[in-house]
Amino acid sequence: MSKRVLTTESGAPVADNQNSASAGVGGPLLLQDQHLLEKLARFNRERIPERVVHARGSGAYGYFEVTDDVTGFTYADFLNTVGKRTEVFLRFSTVADSLGGADAVRDPRGFAVKFYTEEGNYDLVGNNTPVFFIKDPIKFPDFIHSQKRDPFTGRQEPDNVWDFWAHAPEATHQVTWLMGDRGIPASYRHMNGYGSHTYQWTNADGEAFFVKYHFKTNQGIRCLSSEQAAEIAGKDPNSHQTDLLQAIERGVNPSWTLYVQLMPAAEAADYRFNPFDLTKVWPHKDYPLRRVGRLVLDRNPDNVFAEVEQAAFSPNNFVPGIGPSPDKMLQGRLFAYADAHRYRLGVNHTQLAVNAPKATVVNNYGRDGFMATNAQGRHAKNYEPNSYDGPVETGRPLSAPLAVTGHTGTHEAPLHTKDDDFFQAGELYRLMSAEEKSRLIANIAGGLSQVSRDDVIEKNLAHFHAADPEYGKRVEDAVRALRED
Ligand code: HEM
């Protein structure tokens, strides 16, 4: 069989891919060497801005299958029949490090799912943790700055990391989570995913429920100790990528079971915790897990850049029957992602294969911009309303309306009867086994003891004391011992 011919970008055959064209055998190169110029110029443009957070990641395709009837709670089309399958793309990630960082690090993991439903793409952009460090989006840039590289030293600085937390008592719950055993998953396959926020489901009768998503790994939870992680990160910085890629190539397809917690909307106002506070969980005894379906990953992308680097997930990509809650963090995220995509990938990023709907088509009046490819047909008008049979609105609300009261202003999140910054952190600590507690204390002390200022250390210790007196004392003793060394 004859080999395929190498071509230029415009499809013309390339005569020589080993030697540049020159003026004579030993002379300078010729400007007319289109293949050389194109090759060098394209190479210079291979990189795009990396994600400002979650830069490092791995992705795979698969499907979601409904196993249980949830039609009493949402009219979402892709959840309306037991047995129904929807194609998905899932991107896992670490958060703080840049594209070149290592996978085996103590950091939350992203768990972003795109469901290609028949009513459009639904993006559920979560983490492997059910809670988060802060509860107001206005703090997010400061928080991330404190965790990433310092602008002067160019390194992650324990001073900055812990100084932010010293001023964010609401982070104590998530810090306890992160410093505990689950803070370093062994791989992306061996961790749970959570929607983390509270979302809203609406059923066919217009009744609203608040919902939290839990994807439980069917591979079992596996974690690394700080020592194991340091060794693996040094040997194979791509350890999570290697694990996911190889498992799927071998046909060992990872899966997760999706459960939800459902709260009738009317119960939100009087629940003991503010149900829209991202630093809190809903204890399962209040709102038990209810099974919904199974998510399976069974296909690796063909090209990491095209499909993983250019994947764009946005928490405001909802489908009818699912909508946002008043969670302030979620509200901030509804803006941030598509804005990031327009910067990182351009206005037509939704036309890229990984981001475009697969089970339906786009019919709208958006046109043009860099790299536009979807013309929507020669007779499609680019304005609405029109007399040419163009697409029209449905008139059906996507989710139920929520009642609001009060005045505009920069309000703190309302506190419910059991709300404070520490109770749930203490509960998490008390749930841990003796060995887990010891590892947690050692991890916290290992970081906190590196902080240069005593007042920053004291403020952080006060948070652990407030969560649980024993927890506080043990961290304090461990930090002292390390600083006296
Ligand atoms: C107000 C708070 C937050 C803001 C402003 C924010 C903003 C961002 C931005 C700008 C990106 C990069 C997007 C891109 O370039 O494609 C990103 C990525 C991501 N964020 Fe957030 N984020 C916030 C909180 C959270 C929370 C609470 C979670 C999880 C519950 C989360 C999960 C993720 C994930 C998983 C990604 C990576 C998505 C992917 O794989 O492409 N973020 N975030």
| Distance (Å, whole) CA 448 – CA 86 | 45
The pair of structure tokens assigned to 20 is: 């540049």
Q: What is the pLDDT, as a whole number, of residue 161?
A: 98
| Distance (Å, whole) CA 259 – CA 324 | 18
Residue 186 one-letter amino acid: A
> What is the position in ligand 1's atom list of the atom closest to the CA of 330?
1
Q: What is the pLDDT, as a whole number, of residue 208?
A: 97
| Distance (Å, whole) CA 280 – CA 212 | 12
CA atoms within 13 A on the CB side of 341: 21
Contacts of 139 (CB under 8 A, 6+ apart): 168
> What is the position in ligand 1's atom list of the atom closest to the CA of 335?
5
Told to judge if 128 belongs to the known catalytic residues of this protein, a careful annotator would answer: no
Q: Ligand 1 centroid vs 140 CA: distance in angstroms?
A: 10
CA 127 to chain centre: 5
Please identify which of the residues 35, 121, 127, 128 carries the catalytic annotation: 127
Q: What is the DSSP letter of 137?
A: G
Contacts of 430 (CB under 8 A, 6+ apart): 468
Q: Residue 79: in which H helix or E strand, if any?
A: none
> What is the position in ligand 1's atom list of the atom closest to the CA of 194?
30
Give the C-alpha distances (Å, rounded to integers) separating 209 from 58, 119, 195, 267, 274: 33, 20, 15, 9, 15
Task: Print pLDDT tens along the chain (485 aa).
Answer: 789 999 999 999 999 999 999 999 999 999 999 999 999 999 999 999 999 999 999 999 999 999 999 999 999 999 999 999 999 999 999 999 999 999 999 999 999 999 999 999 999 999 999 999 999 999 999 999 999 999 999 999 999 999 999 999 999 999 999 999 999 999 999 999 999 999 999 999 999 999 999 999 999 999 999 999 999 999 999 999 999 999 999 999 999 999 999 999 999 999 999 999 999 999 999 999 999 999 999 999 999 999 999 999 999 999 999 999 999 999 999 999 999 999 999 999 999 999 999 999 999 999 999 999 988 989 999 999 999 999 999 999 999 999 999 999 999 999 999 999 999 999 999 999 999 999 999 999 999 999 999 999 999 999 999 999 999 999 999 999 999 87
Nearest Cα to 333, choosing from 165, 168, 138? 138
Ranges of beta strands (E only) in 320-387 are 322-324
Contacts of 2 (CB under 8 A, 6+ apart): none
Phi (first) and psi of residue 123, to 5 degrees: -105, 125
Residue 337 one-letter amino acid: Y
Q: Ligand 1 centroid vs 53 CA: distance in angstroms?
A: 7
pTM over 0.95: yes
Domains, the chain: 1-46 (4.10.91.20), 57-135+185-351 (2.40.180.10), 423-484 (no CATH)
| Distance (Å, whole) CA 7 – CA 14 | 5
Output the CA torsion sign for 206, 211, 217, 220: negative
Contacts of 476 (CB under 8 A, 6+ apart): 461, 464, 465
Please identify which of the residues 54, 214, 341, 349 carries the catalytic annotation: 54
CB 125 within 8 A of CB 314: yes
End-to-end, the C-alpha distance of the chain in Å comes to 71
| Distance (Å, whole) CA 428 – CA 177 | 8
Told to judge if 190 belongs to the known catalytic residues of this protein, a careful annotator would answer: no
Residue identifier of the C-alpha nearest atom 2 of ligand 1: 137
Look up tokens 């958006």; give the residue. 366
Residue 476 one-letter amino acid: E
Phi (first) and psi of residue 32, to 5 degrees: -80, 0
Q: Ligand 1 centroid vs 213 CA: distance in angstroms?
A: 17
Q: What is the pLDDT, as a whole number, of residue 374?
A: 87
Q: Ligand 1 centroid vs 134 CA: distance in angstroms?
A: 13
Residue identifier of the C-alpha nearest atom 37 of ligand 1: 54
Give the C-alpha distances (Å, rounded to integers) separating 381 from 362, 363, 374, 392: 14, 11, 13, 12
Number of H helices and number of E strands within the chain?
12, 10
Instruction: Report residues whose beta carbon is within 6 angstroms of any ligand 1 atom.
Output: 51-54, 57, 91, 93, 110, 112, 125-127, 132, 137, 140, 196, 311-313, 329, 332-333, 336-337, 340-341, 344
Residues making up the binding site for heme:
337
CB 234 within 8 A of CB 213: no
> What is the position in ligand 1's atom list of the atom closest to the CA of 92?
40
Q: Ligand 1 centroid vs 333 CA: distance in angstroms?
A: 7
Residue 317 one-letter amino acid: N
| Distance (Å, whole) CA 330 – CA 310 | 23
Q: What is the DSSP letter of 85?
A: E
